[in-house]
Amino acid sequence: MYKQVVELLEEAAISYTQYTHEPILDYETDRKIRERFKCPITGVKRND
């Protein structure tokens, strides 16, 4: 599927650069990133 998406981007002349990021593994980092980007939702959730 990834290869198909990249091929579609190339066909449409849309530039694409693959980026690998480190996962967020703790709540404090999650909170900082959420505030930095003003994002209400991230992949890390507490089960309180």
**What mean pLDDT is predicted for residues 27-48?**
74
Domain-located, residue 8: no
Query: Concatenated DSSP letters for the chain?
Result: -HHHHHHHHHHTT--------PPP-SHHHHHHHHHHTT-S--S-----
Domain-located, residue 11: no
Domain-located, residue 3: no
Mean pLDDT of all residues belonging to the chain? 82
Domain-located, residue 6: no
CB atoms inside a 10 Å sphere around CB 16:
10
Domain-located, residue 44: yes
| Residue 13 pLDDT grade (very low, low, confident, very high; cuts 50, 70, 90) | very high
Domain of residue 41, residue span: 18-48
Determine what percent of the chain is predicted with pLDDT higher than 70.
81
Domain count, the chain: 1
Domain-located, residue 2: no
16-31 pLDDT, tens digit each: 888 888 888 898 988 8
**Cα–Cα distance for residue pair 13/23, rounded to 1 Å:** 30
Domain-located, residue 13: no
